[in-house]
Structure formats: C-alpha cells, structure tokens
C-alpha cells in the first residue's frame, strides 16, 4: 500500500478546506448558487445602470421642455390668472411658486451640492436663456432639494422648486427578483440532487461490498458518465469476488492436500521407538494438523453468507452453547437476556461466539459471556476475560489472518493467528460488527453487535 494513502492533510490543505462545506452536495450548491447569484447581480447592475441613465436623461429632457412652456405660459397670463394654473403645471419632481421661495435668506446663497442638481439648474438656465436670468440655491432638509429663482417680464418673482428623484425600477420589479432567486435556489437544489444521488448510491454499494461478491449490484442507468461508473463498479465487484474465490480455493486445496502427508508422517512416527524426538515430532505434527484445519475453516468462513438467515431465540441459543462448555469442565459464565427472537445465521454465529470463548479460555482460563440490547439498535454479545490483554496498537492487527503476537499469544501456546480472523470474517458475512478492546484492570473484551430490530414475542 502507498505510504501516502493515510497521510494526514497538510496545514495548507486544512486551511484551504476550512472555509468549504464538508459534503459534496453542499460544495456543489455553494459553487452553482454563487456563480448564478454573481451573474444575476451583474445583470441586475447593468439593467439598473441602463435604466437609471435612461430615467435621468428623460427627467432632464422633460424638465427642460416643461420649464420653458410653463414659464412662457405664466409670463403671458394676467397676474390674477397665474395662481389658478399652478396646480395644473405641478409635476412629481418639481412645481412652480409665485414667491421668493426659501424663507431663510442664508439658504438662498447656498448653491446646489450634488452633480445632478447642478446639471439640472444649468439646464434650466440654458433653456430659459438670457431673457429670464436664473439663480439656483440648495434647500436644507432631507433628500436632494433645490430651487431656481427668476423674474417674469412684469417683475413678479417666480421659483421652480425641484426635488430630483429618479425611479429606474418599477414597484413590481423586487417581487420579480425574489421569484427569480427562488427559482435559482430550486434549480440549484435539483441539479445538485441529480448529480449527487448516483454518487450516494455508489457509496452505499461500496459500503456493502462483500469480497465474496454478495454485495448490492447497482442497476445501470442514468447519464453516460454515471452508467459507465456503475458498470465499472459492478465489474470491479465481480473481479474482487473472483480473486477472493480463487485465493480461498488455493488455500483450501493446499490445506486439504497437506493432511495426507501429515497423516503419513504421523504413522511413520508411531512406528518409531519411544524417545524424546518422537514426542517432539508428534507435537509438531499436531500443530501442523491444527493449522491445516484452521486454514480450511478460514477458507470456508468466506461463504458464511450462503447460510440462510432464520429467527432464533438468542437466549436459549447462547445458554445451550455455554452448557456445552460447562459439560467439558471449561469455566464459562452467562448473564443477560434480550426480549424476542433475532434473525441471523445460527451456524456462523455459533462459530463466532465459540472462537471468542475459546480465545478467552486459552489465554485467561475462563470466559464471561453477556447478552443485552445494543443502545444503537439490535443486540450486543460481549465475551470478556481477565487474561494479559492485547497492546493497544495491536488490537486492529490481530484480526488479520495468520497474525500472531510475539508475547504470550504465540505459536508455542497453540495459536495459529486464524481464530479471530475467522470470527471477524464470519461477523461481516452475517452483517454484524466485531470490536476488541482492553478492559480496565486487565483482560480483553470482544463486542459482537448484531444489527436489526429484535422481533417482539408473540
């Protein structure tokens, strides 16, 4: 295996991913939604700028034409008729007054501040021409406000009161924008869901992948890329199952064929005279015979899932197993119970629990078996001992085939390194999980969790 496979992420990689969501769906949603929102914001900004420019130009043009018409009309009307025309000439952003305007004399000397007000005041002066000299001043208060003062031909004072207000957007446009944003969110969610759903199915199938080829096979469908990935996954699953069957067949064949020469050697040893060498040979042949049998058992354990699952009374099942040990004077205690039957593969389960009990008796002299409900769901079977335990960094390794500790659990004590490997493989074949951990005060605890609901008793 490549040494970099389990390497920890570098600080730069951690800093780079700190600001990103953890799931692929969240990252795709963030990327798509951010891109769509930026594009939408740019489009809205360009539209707003274009509408603002057009509205300002229209406001200036209307003001220029309206002011020329209104001033000339009021100048030609008799003074007593002018007041009656003022409401008719009133507009949204400006109106006319026949007085001196702002009452504050100081305010009359303040020129317009903003560029728009200055442009509008200059435009009015240019439109009226030299016949009507004008003077503009800002009006204090909220918002942009200025007045243009002039005198009619008869010397009467007149003021054009202007409140520039450009409305580039219609009142209904914000609602349209809100609907567009909702559609963006909906389309982003739909696109991400369509993209990540096949990946979720693929991940689920990978989690249930079984070396014997009994995992879930994905139906081929969807876009071309997804269909190709599913086809490749199914083909990979078939290849793994083929390689596993081939290796297990080789292991079983070698283990089986070794029994014949071992038996011949035992017969020849029996024909030898009594001696210490003869006893040592018998001892070596016994260990070889045990290793061969364990190899055959390990090869067969890969096919544990072929056993049909049935409902069993787990309390009675384990009690019968413990009684078999007690009948042979091996100290095994049993405590706890569960309500209702459990659906599992009994032969495989018996071999798992038996291997764990044998392991505890071999290294501690006694075993403690306990059955209860698992807080995470299903049932939990615990096999404990007070033996030497296993070093913390070796707990995961002892599940590997032919792995033996070099301390008390070595070949000289009869261990082959296959008991826990067989239990682990059978646990996977029945859909259970097997975990080892050291006990407080010394000893080892094996926890077998069988998932699934416990059926209620009739």
For the chain, percent of residues with pLDDT exceeding 70: 79
Check residues 258 and 341 and name the one with the higher pLDDT.
341
Check residues 106 and 130 and name the one with the higher pLDDT.
130
The average pLDDT across 185-212 equals 75
Q: Is residue 33 part of a domain?
A: no
Please check the confidence at residue 281 and state whether its pLDDT lies above 70: yes
What Rg value do the Cα atoms of the chain yield, rounded? 45
Listed in sequence order, the residues at least 6 apart from 52 whose beta carbon sits closer than 8 Å to its beta carbon are 166, 168
Closest by CA to 293, choosing from 355, 357, 350, is: 355
pLDDT of amino acid 143 = 76
Listed in sequence order, the residues at least 6 apart from 238 whose beta carbon sits closer than 8 Å to its beta carbon are 213
Please check the confidence at residue 191 and state whether its pLDDT lies above 50: yes
Structure tokens at 243: 């390689």
For 239-254, write each residue's pLDDT tens digit: 877 777 777 677 677 7
Check residues 365 and 57 and name the one with the higher pLDDT.
365
Listed in sequence order, the residues at least 6 apart from 366 whose beta carbon sits closer than 8 Å to its beta carbon are 331, 332, 333, 360, 385, 386
332 falls in which pLDDT band (50, 70, 90)?
Answer: very high
33 falls in which pLDDT band (50, 70, 90)?
Answer: confident
Please check the confidence at residue 194 and state whether its pLDDT lies above 80: no
SS3 of residue 37 by DSSP: helix
178 falls in which pLDDT band (50, 70, 90)?
Answer: confident
Residue 51, judged by CB atoms within 10 A of its CB (0-12, 13-18, 19+), counts as middle
Q: Is residue 315 part of a domain?
A: yes
Q: Is residue 64 part of a domain?
A: yes
For 204-240, write each residue's pLDDT tens digit: 777 767 666 566 677 777 677 777 877 888 888 888 7
Indicate the number of domains in the chain. 2
Cα-based angle 87, 88, 94 (whole degrees, multiple of 5): 70
CATH of the domain at 150: 3.30.450.300
Check residues 321 and 58 and name the one with the higher pLDDT.
321
List, in sequence order, every residue forming a beta bridge with 332; answer none if it has no partner: 367
pLDDT of amino acid 405 = 65
Which residue, 162, 177, 192, sits at the end of a domain? 162
**Separation between Cα atoms, residue 8 and residue 189, nearest integer Å:** 32
pLDDT of amino acid 4 = 44
Please check the confidence at residue 174 and state whether its pLDDT lies above 90: no
301 falls in which pLDDT band (50, 70, 90)?
Answer: low
pLDDT of amino acid 407 = 47
Overall pTM surpassing 0.85 (yes/no): no
Number of CB atoms found within 10 A of residue 393's CB:
7
Residue 157 is inside which H or E element, if any?
strand 157-162
5 falls in which pLDDT band (50, 70, 90)?
Answer: very low
pLDDT of amino acid 6 = 46
Which of 355-360's residues contact partners 24+ apart within 8 Å by CB, and which partners?
355/419, 355/420, 355/422, 355/423, 356/383, 356/423, 356/446, 356/448, 357/321, 357/325, 357/332, 357/383, 358/419, 359/383, 359/385, 359/419, 359/420, 359/446, 360/384, 360/385, 360/387, 360/444, 360/446
- Helix/strand/coil percent split, the chain, to 5: 55, 10, 30
Check residues 196 and 5 and name the one with the higher pLDDT.
196
pLDDT of amino acid 402 = 64
Report the helix count and the strand count for the chain, using DSSP H and E: 10, 11
Q: What are phi and psi of 196, to 5 degrees?
A: -90, -20
Q: Is residue 440 part of a domain?
A: yes
Q: What is the 3-state secondary structure (H, E, C) of 344-382?
A: ECHHHHHHHHHHHHHHHHHHHCCEEEEEEECCCCCEEEE
Please check the confidence at residue 409 and state whether its pLDDT lies above 90: no
Is-contact 415 294, C-beta < 8 A? no
pLDDT of amino acid 362 = 86
Which residue, 104, 134, 162, sits at the end of a domain? 162
For 429-442, write each residue's pLDDT tens digit: 788 889 899 988 88
Q: Is residue 168 part of a domain?
A: no
Please check the confidence at residue 310 and state whether its pLDDT lies above 60: yes
Task: State the number of CA atoms in the 13 A half-sphere of 367 facing the CB.
Answer: 27
pLDDT of amino acid 404 = 67
Structure tokens at 36: 């769509």
Computed over every residue of the chain, the mean pLDDT equals: 78
pLDDT of amino acid 414 = 46
Task: State the number of CA atoms in the 13 A half-sphere of 408 facing the CB.
Answer: 11
List, in sequence order, every residue forming a beta bridge with 342; answer none if it has no partner: 312
Q: Is residue 276 part of a domain?
A: no
The average pLDDT across 309-327 equals 90
Is-contact 433 372, C-beta < 8 A? no
Which residue, 162, 180, 200, sits at the end of a domain? 162
The average pLDDT across 82-97 equals 87
**Separation between Cα atoms, residue 161 and residue 236, nearest integer Å:** 82
**Separation between Cα atoms, residue 269 and residue 281, nearest integer Å:** 7
CATH of the domain at 437: 3.30.565.10
Check residues 282 and 82 and name the one with the higher pLDDT.
82
Min mean pLDDT across 88-92, 326-330, 421-425 is at 421-425
Sign of the torsion angle spanned by Cα atoms 110, 114, 117, 120: positive
Please check the confidence at residue 383 and state whether its pLDDT lies above 90: yes
Q: Is residue 118 part of a domain?
A: yes
Please check the confidence at residue 361 and state whether its pLDDT lies above 70: yes
Please check the confidence at residue 324 and state whether its pLDDT lies above 70: yes
Closest by CA to 404, choosing from 420, 392, 393, is: 420
The average pLDDT across 337-351 equals 87
Residue whose pair of structure tokens reads 């403690």 in the numeric block: 368
CA 308 to centroid of chain Cα atoms: 35
Q: Is residue 57 part of a domain?
A: yes
Q: How far is CA 99 from CA 145, 147, 158, in A?
A: 17, 12, 6
Closest by CA to 307, choosing from 349, 266, 262, 342, is: 349
Please check the confidence at residue 412 and state whether its pLDDT lies above 70: no
Is-contact 438 389, C-beta < 8 A? yes
Domain that holds residue 413: 306-450
For the chain, percent of residues with pLDDT exceeding 90: 9
Structure tokens at 254: 């070698």
Check residues 296 and 127 and name the one with the higher pLDDT.
127
3 falls in which pLDDT band (50, 70, 90)?
Answer: very low
């Amino acid at each position: 295996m490549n040494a970099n496979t389990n390497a920890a992420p570098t600080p730069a990689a951690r800093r780079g991913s700190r600001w990103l969501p953890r799931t692929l769906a969240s990252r795709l949603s963030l990327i798509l939604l951010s891109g769509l929102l930026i594009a939408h914001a740019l489009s809205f900004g360009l539209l707003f700028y274009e509408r603002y420019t057009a509205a300002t130009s229209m406001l200036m043009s209307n003001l220029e034409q309206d002011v020329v018409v209104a001033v000339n009309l009021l100048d030609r009307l008799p003074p007593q008729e002018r007041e009656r025309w003022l409401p008719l000439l009133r507009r949204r952003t400006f109106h006319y007054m026949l007085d001196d305007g702002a009452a504050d004399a100081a305010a009359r000397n303040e020129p317009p501040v903003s560029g728009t007000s200055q442009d509008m005041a200059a435009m009015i002066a240019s439109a009226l021409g030299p016949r009507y000299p004008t003077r503009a001043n800002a009006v204090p208060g909220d918002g942009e406000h200025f007045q243009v003062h002039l005198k009619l031909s008869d010397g009467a004072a007149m003021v054009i009161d202007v409140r520039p207000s450009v409305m580039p957007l219609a009142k209904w446009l914000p609602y349209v924008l809100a609907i567009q944003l909702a559609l963006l969110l909906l389309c982003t969610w739909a696109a991400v869901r369509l993209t990540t759903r096949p990946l979720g199915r693929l991940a689920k199938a990978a989690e249930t992948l079984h070396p014997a080829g009994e995992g879930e096979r994905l139906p081929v469908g969807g876009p071309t890329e997804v269909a190709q990935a599913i086809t490749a996954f199914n083909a990979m699953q078939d290849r793994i199952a083929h390689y596993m069957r081939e290796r297990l067949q080789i292991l079983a064949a070698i283990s089986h064929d070794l029994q014949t020469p071992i038996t011949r050697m035992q017969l020849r040893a029996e024909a030898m005279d009594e001696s210490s060498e003869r006893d040592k040979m018998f001892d070596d042949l016994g260990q070889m015979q045990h290793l061969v049998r364990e190899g055959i058992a390990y090869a067969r354990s890969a096919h544990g899932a072929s056993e049909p699952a049935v409902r069993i009374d787990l309390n009675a099942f384990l009690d019968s197993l413990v009684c078999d040990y007690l009948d042979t004077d091996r100290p095994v205690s049993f405590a706890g119970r569960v309500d209702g039957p459990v659906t599992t593969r009994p032969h495989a389960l018996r071999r798992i629990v038996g291997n764990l009990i044998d392991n505890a008796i071999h290294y501690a002299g006694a075993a403690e078996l306990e059955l209860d409900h698992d807080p995470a769901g299903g049932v939990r079977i615990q096999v404990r001992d007070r033996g030497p335990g296993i070093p913390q960094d070796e707990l995961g390794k002892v599940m590997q085939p032919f792995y033996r500790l070099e301390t008390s659990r070595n070949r000289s004590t009869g261990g082959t390194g296959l008991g826990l490997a067989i239990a682990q493989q059978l646990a996977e074949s029945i859909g259970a999980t097997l975990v080892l951990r050291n006990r407080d005060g010394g000893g080892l605890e094996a926890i077998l969790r069988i998932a699934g609901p416990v059926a209620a008793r009739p």
